[in-house]
Each structure stands twice: as structure tokens, then as C-alpha cells.
């Protein structure tokens, strides 16, 4: 098996014993042969490519990813308190009547396997953003950074923890508290996950301009000398005005945007039952991989055109979604992004950074 995350094992087994496959082999070292000196948000970077928030569960995964030539890597989203993972399975392939999967479409979820052709099959992931307690992840991020070399980047992703009893203000305060805890690690860059559930009503924070604006303004007040990125989800074309208004807020309070997170779809088994066990919230699950490439490419094109329209020269755009081959990396870069990240593609194709550097 080449995959560095074993989809047939629980999250805890992956956390405790991973990474697997090529990432477990210390002799798998990819030297990036730089053709020019590049920088990302002021930091030297050998290749503006890496792995977004999620698949790199802890320092062992981060160190293995840097060693494998993935340079711009994000430590998985952390919270202000310990938080459990959804039950196994957490990553399964999905089948759809079309290659591209669209928001709220119904797809068939298949049994977990490590035998996935990421160039053809989409995947759904459903973890519920588990987190270790802050003292554990803080120490672990520091450990990762101690092993990072020049030309590699560590981004730490975080989000607020929404509790039943909380007010909207308390939820925002938890974002700020988690940001403060995150900044104690000394990571180079932070990333707030706004593609997570909103307070009160259904939906994502990034789809609620007022809430996004309030969270970002509060974070701005706690911002130190390090850049802050904002992870957002897909916006359908009929919400272009909302996307532009959100980007304006991000430009005011942060340094750039990471787009996109997964696309929500209804995932059923072949008998029409909820495919992922446990809570009914898992009936709708985030699709990632090749099936959402259309949405990632479309989104960054729209973001880059807003950036150009306003002349936001320093505003950073990171393209994510369906990058499963070197051609996909090139397609994103051609759209004017500053860096590209791949989650599902990298998980099943751990040679991807090496393949990209050989092609460009």
C-alpha cells in the first residue's frame, strides 16, 4: 500500500501508528530542485505545493510530508478542547452518475478500501474535526516545527468549538481563544476554518457574511506578526455577490484565502440507507478529490478575478480541490494562485510532489 492514511483503519489507529505506505519509509526523501527562489507570504518555499488541513494528523505525518517534497503543509484543524472523531469508517469512495459531484447531489458510498484510483473516483471524508487537547497539539506542532527545514512551510488550522449552551458571542470568543493557543506554537502561518458549522442556523460560517465578518474582526484583534489565511467552501454562481463581499472582509482582516473545502452531498448505501454509521448528520458528507475539481478551479478563477479587479496585490490565494495529478497543479497555477494543495490526491499518490517537480 502506498497511501499514507489507511482508510481501512480507525482515525485513532492512524493517529497512533501512521503514517503508512511510502510516508512510513524514512528513505523516501524527495529533494526539490529549485529553478528559482520562491516565497509564500514572505517565507522561502521550494515548491508552492503541499497538503491542506486534514490528512496530516500529527507531527509524524507533517515531517513525512515535508520529507516527501510537499512544501506548503497544514497541520489538521485543532480546537480549544478535546473533541471526538465520528465512528469508523471516515474515508470511503463514492460513486455518482456523473464525474463531477455538485452540492446536495445524492451519491452511493462504497465500503472503505485503500484501493482507490484517485484520478477517477471521488471520495467522502467524515471525521467531525476531532481534536486532541491544546496541551497535546501545541507540543506536537512545536515538535513538527523543530524538524522543518528551510523551504518548507507549516500552517496551523484552527476553528471555534460550538456547544449547545453557548451564545453567538461565546462561540466567537472560542475562535479567538483557539487562535491565541495556536499562536503559542510558533507556526509560520495560521488558517481559520470558516467552512465549518455556523452558530444557530444550519449552514457554514463562510456563507453568513455577518458571522464571518464578526469572527474575522475578532481574530484581527488577536493577530500577532504572523499571516492569517481563511479557509472557505464553494459558493454557487448565484451567490457571487456574497463571495465578493466575503473576500472584501477577508482582505480587510486577514492575508489571504484557501479555497475550497469539501462539497456536501447525500451519501447513501446501495439500499438507500445512510452509508456512514451513527448520527443522522452523517447522511450529508463532504465530497473531495477528483469529483470536486470543477468547483475548486472555478472558485479560484472567480477569486483571482476579484483580486485583480480590486488590485489586492498582496492577497494570497491557495487553490485546493481535486488536485490528483501534475496537470491539475499546473491548471491551478495557470489560474493565478500563489500555492496549490492536495488532500485526497496526496493521500493516495504520495509521490505527487516529486511528480510535479519533474514535470515543471
Residues 58-77 that bind ligand FMN (CB under 6 A): 76-77
Nearer to ligand FMN, 246 or 323 (CB): 323
Using CB under 6 A, which of the segments 16-24, 53-61, 105-113, 297-305 binds ligand FMN? Answer: 53-61
Say whether residue 50 binds ligand FMN (CB under 6 A).
no
Say whether residue 292 binds ligand FMN (CB under 6 A).
yes
Beta strands in the chain (DSSP E): 38-40, 43-45, 49-50, 72-78, 91-95, 106-109, 122-125, 153-158, 189-193, 228-232, 256-259, 263-268, 284-289, 316-320, 339-341
Is residue 298 within 8 A of residue 320, CB to CB? The reply is no
Q: For the packed helices 134-146 and 168-183, what is the interaxial angle rounded to 10 degrees? A: 30
Minimum gap (Å) between residue 28 Cβ and ligand FMN = 20
Minimum gap (Å) between residue 196 Cβ and ligand FMN = 7
Minimum gap (Å) between residue 159 Cβ and ligand FMN = 8
Cα–Cα distance, 61 to 48 (Å, whole number):
19
Cα–Cα distance, 160 to 175 (Å, whole number):
4
Cα–Cα distance, 324 to 346 (Å, whole number):
7
Nearer to ligand FMN, 44 or 193 (CB): 193
Among 47, 91, 211, 300, binds ligand FMN (CB under 6 A): 91
Nearer to ligand FMN, 7 or 63 (CB): 7
Tell how strand 153-158 and strand 228-232 pair up.
unpaired
Among 48, 50, 54, 227, binds ligand FMN (CB under 6 A): 54
Nearer to ligand FMN, 58 or 342 (CB): 342
User: Residue number with the shortest CB distance to ligand FMN?
Assistant: 54
Nearer to ligand FMN, 32 or 287 (CB): 287
The site for ligand FMN, by CB under 6 A, has a size of 26
Using CB under 6 A, which of the segments 30-38, 163-171, 198-206, 314-322 binds ligand FMN? Answer: 314-322
Q: Which residue has the cell 445524492?
A: 106
Say whether residue 156 binds ligand FMN (CB under 6 A).
no
Q: What angle do CA 298, 300, 301 make, to 5 degrees?
A: 65
Say whether residue 162 binds ligand FMN (CB under 6 A).
no
Using CB under 6 A, which of the segments 222-230, 302-310, 321-329, 349-357 binds ligand FMN? Answer: 321-329
Nearest Cα neighbor of 171 from 229, 133, 215, 107 is 215
Is residue 7 within 8 A of residue 89, CB to CB? The reply is yes
Say whether residue 289 binds ligand FMN (CB under 6 A).
yes
Say whether residue 285 binds ligand FMN (CB under 6 A).
no
Say whether residue 124 binds ligand FMN (CB under 6 A).
no
Nearest Cα neighbor of 14 from 68, 75, 71, 57 is 57
Burial class (CB in 10 A: 0-12, 13-18, 19+), 42: exposed
- Residues contacting residue 169 through CB under 8 Å, at least 6 positions apart: none
Site residues for ligand FMN per CB under 6 A: 52-55, 76-77, 91, 125, 127, 129, 157, 193, 231, 261-262, 288-289, 292, 320-323, 342-345
Amino acid at each position: 500500500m502506498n497511501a499514507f492514511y489507511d482508510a481501512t483503519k480507525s482515525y485513532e489507529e492512524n493517529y497512533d501508528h501512521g503514517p503508512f505506505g511510502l510516508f512510513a519509509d524514512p528513505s523516501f526523501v524527495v529533494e526539490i530542485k529549485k529553478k528559482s527562489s520562491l516565497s509564500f507570504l514572505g517565507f522561502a518555499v521550494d515548491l508552492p505545493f503541499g497538503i491542506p488541513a486534514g490528512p496530516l494528523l500529527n507531527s509524524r505525518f507533517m515531517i513525512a510530508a515535508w520529507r516527501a517534497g510537499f512544501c506548503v503543509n497544514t497541520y489538521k484543524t485543532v480546537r480549544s478542547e478535546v473533541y471526538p472523531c465520528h465512528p469508523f469508517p471516515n474515508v470511503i469512495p463514492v460513486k455518482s452518475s456523473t464525474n463531477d459531484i455538485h452540492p446536495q447531489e445524492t451519491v452511493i458510498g462504497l465500503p472503505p478500501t485503500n484501493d482507490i484510483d484517485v484520478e477517477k473516483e471521488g471520495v467522502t471524508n467524515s471525521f467531525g474535526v476531532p481534536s486532541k487537547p491544546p496541551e497535546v497539539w501545541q507540543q506536537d506542532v512545536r515538535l513538527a516545527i523543530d524538524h522543518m527545514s528551510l523551504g518548507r512551510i507549516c500552517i496551523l488550522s484552527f476553528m471555534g468549538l460550538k456547544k449547545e449552551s453557548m451564545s453567538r458571542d461565546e462561540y466567537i470568543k472560542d475562535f479567538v481563544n483557539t487562535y491565541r493557543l495556536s499562536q503559542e506554537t510558533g507556526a509560520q502561518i495560521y488558517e481559520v476554518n470558516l467552512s465549518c458549522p455556523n452558530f444557530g442556523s444550519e449552514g457554514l460560517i463562510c456563507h453568513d457574511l455577518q458571522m464571518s465578518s464578526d469572527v474575522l474582526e475578532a481574530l484581527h484583534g488577536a493577530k500577532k506578526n504572523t499571516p492569517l489565511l481563511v479557509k472557505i467552501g464553494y459558493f454557487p454562481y448565484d451567490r457571487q455577490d456574497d463571495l465578493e463581499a466575503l473576500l472584501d472582509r477577508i482582505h480587510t482582516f486577514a492575508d489571504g484565502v484557501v479555497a475550497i473545502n469539501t462539497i456536501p452531498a447525500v451519501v447513501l448505501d446501495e439500499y438507500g440507507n445512510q452509508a456512514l454509521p451513527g448520527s443522522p448528520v452523517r447522511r450529508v458528507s463532504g465530497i473531495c478529490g477528483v469529483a470536486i475539481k470543477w468547483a475548486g478551479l472555478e472558485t479560484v478563477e472567480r477569486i483571482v478575478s476579484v483580486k485583480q479587479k480590486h488590485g489586492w496585490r498582496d492577497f494570497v490565494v491557495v487553490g485546493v480541490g481535486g488536485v490528483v495529478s501534475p496537470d491539475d497543479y499546473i491548471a491551478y497555477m495557470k489560474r493565478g494562485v500563489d500555492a496549490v494543495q492536495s488532500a485526497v490526491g496526496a493521500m493516495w499518490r504520495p509521490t505527487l510532489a516529486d511528480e510535479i517537480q519533474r514535470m515543471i
